[in-house]
Chain A
């Protein structure tokens, strides 16, 4: 195949995949500006006069800002804590592996394979006994634990890309372990740490199971805000779409702004 043809093909495939992935978000955005009857019309209405009534109703019925603040605090603090714990763990596993390192890494990942509902009751009882139900501290703890395996795995992969000779040279010059990590390893693996943090924030932001089960009013994040607009008896798609747009807007903008960093991080060390 000539290079021109393959260029056209990748252009079409790339744009096709991008449009396919973006379509649900676009449809949600449009539905948020329709009336409830237009939102469920068959065939779907493509041309309509936009209305702000759903956004007005959403703001009237729920305190968006309080949910959004909870989401920001929980995502950022849980990510910071996960990184704080994961950096030393990944450092030791990447540069001083033992015969059990691989097994430990796989064991950590295996905890992600268990459906969370399987441990709901024990976790609920623990949270109740420690007074953590419906608290931001409780959600921060569960999100940190939830993301820790994936954060350690990602950092481990990024750290493995850093040539050990550089750290050895630092050690030869008298750097202690702490200095080695903070002055040599972290600056070198910064794109990787940045992309891991971004991914962790996104995972925390979108998490619904634990937030719906462990929070009620005080600590409820934006996932609980979205869930409150689904109705068993009544039309709700337009309002639910408006609420969802408001809930994903901050993380969408954040992801858009940091996409360069994210892509750089994810491809870090891919070509040596």
Chain B
């Protein structure tokens, strides 16, 4: 009897404890709690840290943070929005999602911004990238394009100079002279890890500047074209001859680590890396760092990508007013000033506002500022490719099917890089997979 009582008692206590703890989420009366879903990027961490200022100024609003890995966040938030779960009040999404989600009616409009917000100050390409049918559906937290980073000491040794906007042939020539694998210094580091946001983000800009595109104006897939073949062959040749070993597993973070460690002569990637490689606490090459625009080939446009991490409010949120109040605060000129004054101007969220680049303190603290501004200003998601196209986006096609098409193409490109496929085989495989997906989605009969 004793044993029985003990077992039952233990179970009852455990269940009771669980129930009590489950019920401890007491929401204070009249306080609006906002759940903010975001990614673990440096600028977002600063936002989380400084958000106590917002709470102090708005004691009726309390922020709960959900920080997730980018792909997990995308999947998690998509499930919640598509099923109208209403778990989140503020979402961190990118330029790719905003027009698609706006078209679906998943996110709320930002059409009544106050004069104080000064929406005209937001850089035009960024503003356009976050709009659908001329209306803003998300406000930019930070924005990025792509640019070339190089080691000034290594380039100097070659006797060559890096132009402000190099061509791919010049990049190849400089990389070939820097390449010194015996001392673990590689001529060039580029993204090779498969994924629409990894190797295909870079490779798409390369295809654009070699005169190619994903789809033409009638949604015909153009992967198996001479321009793609030329761009992909050039990319594979660069990485195979002057790149690090195992380049097919290198994404943004891996290349950032290698470049910061002094193992890459040239690196072409996101402008957001500028602050990281310029920071002596995280980079061994901060004192020998050179910047240039993203390289070009035969077609001068489309070599700069455009991406922005933006804050949006889902239609399922029942706290629209409070959520919009927070979003406008976190993307305002005042917030950028607050970051500059508390965290140092080099940490100010880049790429969103003209006023950031007019600020002398920022330009002095971040010598790469003008390159970033110019890269973003020249990125044009609409007029990108040599021949007319049907989609919006520089390094992606702004249609829901693109994630799958881009990732599958990325896998075949990685297979070509590792030598499992020839370039022709890889392009043929990617072309037929993309054609199939487009047919199934109803773009082509």
Residues of A within 8 A of B (CB): 36-37, 40-42, 61-62, 69, 73-74, 76-77, 80-81, 84, 120-121, 124-125, 128, 133-137, 140, 182-183, 186-187, 212-213, 216-220, 224, 227-236
Contact = CB atoms under 8 A, between A and B. Distances in A.
A120 B39 CA distance: 22
A27 to B, nearest CB: 16
Interface stretch (B3-11, B108-116, B363-371, B403-411): B3-11
Contacts of B80: 124
Nearest to B307: A233
B22 A137 contact: yes
A228 B3 contact: no
Given A80-B11, A217-B64, A231-B40, A124 B83 contact: yes
13 contacts: A42-B258, A42-B261, A42-B263, A76-B17, A128-B83, A133-B87, A182-B7, A212-B68, A212-B76, A224-B66, A230-B69, A233-B272, A236-B253
Contact of B257 (A40, A62, A73, A233): A40
Given A37-B261, A84-B11, A234-B253, A217 B35 contact: yes
Contacts of B282: 36-37, 235
Minimum-distance CB pairs A-B, first 9: A77-B18, A228-B67, A136-B22, A40-B257, A232-B70, A230-B69, A217-B64, A231-B40, A80-B14
B66 A183 contact: no
Contacts of A182: 3-4, 7
A140 to B, nearest CB: 6
B84 interface: yes
* Chain B: interface size category: 35 or more
Nearest to B14: A80
A47 to B, nearest CB: 17
Contacts of B276: 234-235
Interface stretch (B41-49, B167-175, B287-295, B426-434): B41-49
Nearest to B82: A121
A74 B15 CA distance: 10
A133 B79 CA distance: 12
A230 B253 CA distance: 11
Nearest to A187: B3
Nearest to B269: A233
Contacts of B7: 182, 186
Nearest to B273: A233
B57 interface: no
B252 A37 contact: no
Interface in B175-189: 184
A231 B253 contact: yes
Nearest to B36: A217
B30 interface: no
A125 B40 contact: no
Interface in B238-275: 252-253, 256-258, 260-261, 263, 270, 272-273
Given A124-B85, A128-B83, A233 B3 contact: no
Interface of B: 3-4, 7, 10-11, 14-15, 17-19, 21-22, 25, 35, 37, 39-42, 45, 48-49, 64-70, 72, 76, 79-80, 82-88, 184, 197, 252-253, 256-258, 260-261, 263, 270, 272-273, 276, 282-284
Given A76-B14, A121-B83, A186-B7, A233 B76 contact: no
A191 to B, nearest CB: 15
B79 A124 contact: yes
Nearest to A137: B22
Given A73-B18, A233-B272, A218 B25 contact: yes
Given A37-B282, A217-B66, A234 B22 contact: no
Contacts of B68: 212, 224, 227-228
Given A42-B184, A220-B66, A228-B68, A134 B40 contact: no
B14 A227 contact: no
A233 B42 contact: yes
B76 A40 contact: no
Given A217-B35, A233-B252, A233-B270, A128 B84 contact: yes
Contacts of A37: 260-261, 282-284
Nearest to A78: B18
A206 to B, nearest CB: 16
Contact of A69 (B21, B49, B67, B257): B21
Contact of A73 (B4, B22, B41, B48): B22
B402 to A, nearest CB: 18
Given A136-B18, A218-B25, A224-B68, 5 more contacts: A76-B18, A140-B18, A229-B67, A231-B41, A232-B40
B418 to A, nearest CB: 19
A265 to B, nearest CB: 17
A229 B40 contact: yes
Nearest to A236: B40
A128 B18 contact: no
A209 to B, nearest CB: 10
B261 A41 contact: yes
Contact of B65 (A41, A186, A217): A217
A197 to B, nearest CB: 11
Given A42-B263, A227-B72, A81 B15 contact: yes
A68 B87 CA distance: 21
A134 B258 CA distance: 39
A61 B48 contact: yes
Most chain B beta-carbon neighbours within 10 Å: one of A76, A81, A183, A212: A212
A136 B87 contact: no
Contacts of A235: 253, 256-257, 260, 276, 282
A54 B281 CA distance: 14
Contacts of A187: 3
A218 B88 CA distance: 12
